[in-house]
């Protein structure tokens, strides 16, 4: 039997950065500028997509503060400068969303808006998947209804 030798038709193993280490996710997202673009796209979808109306109504008419808070949160969460606490105070995601009726449908709609925003970015597909998997955990923590 001949030894295996890869050729042009072989499946090639793809290596990807470990986005959970250091600033890898922050860099993959394009730094603060890239994260801000992601968040603006996220709120654009929430604002313009009729299916997201319920989630959009949970926010102020002026989205400036929401954009700033989510951008600041994601910058630190992706491994960039952690400024959320100094800017907005202690972060308690479930507590900050306790006053909102967030069930499975609202959580899923929030995540769908984020998926649309990720699809708008020129990010690597593996990074997009990583972000969605990771964001599903805090999204679930904010759910307070069935």
pLDDT score recorded for residue 129: 97
Give the pTM: 0.88
- Contact present, 101 and 145 (Cβ < 8 Å): yes
Portion of the chain with pLDDT greater than 90, in percent: 88
Domain 24-142 is in which class? mainly alpha
Q: Residue 118 and residue 56: Cα distance in Å, rounded? A: 18
The reported pLDDT for the residue numbered 57 is 97
Residue 14 has pLDDT above 70, yes or no: no
Nearest Cα to Cα of residue 107 among 88, 94, 123: 94
**pLDDT tens profile 125-146:** 999 999 999 999 999 999 999 8
- Least confidently predicted of 14-23, 38-47, 72-81, 89-98: 14-23
**Tens digit of each residue's pLDDT (9 = 90 or more) over 34-44:** 999 999 999 99
CA distances from 131 to 10, 14, 54, 65, 90 (A): 29, 18, 23, 22, 23
C-alpha distances (whole Å) from 38 to each of 75, 109, 114, 125 are 11, 16, 8, 15
pLDDT of residue 9: 72
Residue 146 and residue 128: Cα distance in Å, rounded? 27
Question: pLDDT (tens digit, 9 = 90+) per residue, 18-39?
Answer: 999 999 999 999 999 999 999 9
Cβ atoms of 39 and 70 within 8 Å: the answer is: yes
Sign of CA dihedral 29, 53, 49, 144: positive
- Model pLDDT, residue 15: 76
């Amino acid at each position: 039997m001949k030894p295996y030798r890869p050729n042009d038709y072989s499946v090639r193993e793809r290596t990807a950065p470990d986005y959970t280490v250091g600033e890898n996710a922050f860099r993959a997202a394009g730094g603060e500028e890239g994260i801000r673009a992601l968040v603006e796209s996220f709120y654009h979808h929430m604002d313009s997509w009729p299916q997201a109306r319920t989630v959009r109504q949970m926010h102020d008419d002026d989205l400036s503060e929401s954009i700033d808070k989510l951008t600041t949160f994601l910058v630190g969460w992706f491994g960039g400068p952690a400024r959320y606490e100094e800017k907005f105070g202690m972060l308690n995601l479930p507590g900050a969303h306790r006053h909102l009726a967030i069930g499975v449908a609202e959580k899923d709609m929030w995540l769908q808006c984020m998926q649309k925003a990720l699809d708008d970015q020129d990010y690597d597909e593996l990074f997009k998947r990583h972000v969605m998997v990771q964001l599903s955990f805090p999204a679930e923590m904010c759910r307070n209804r069935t």
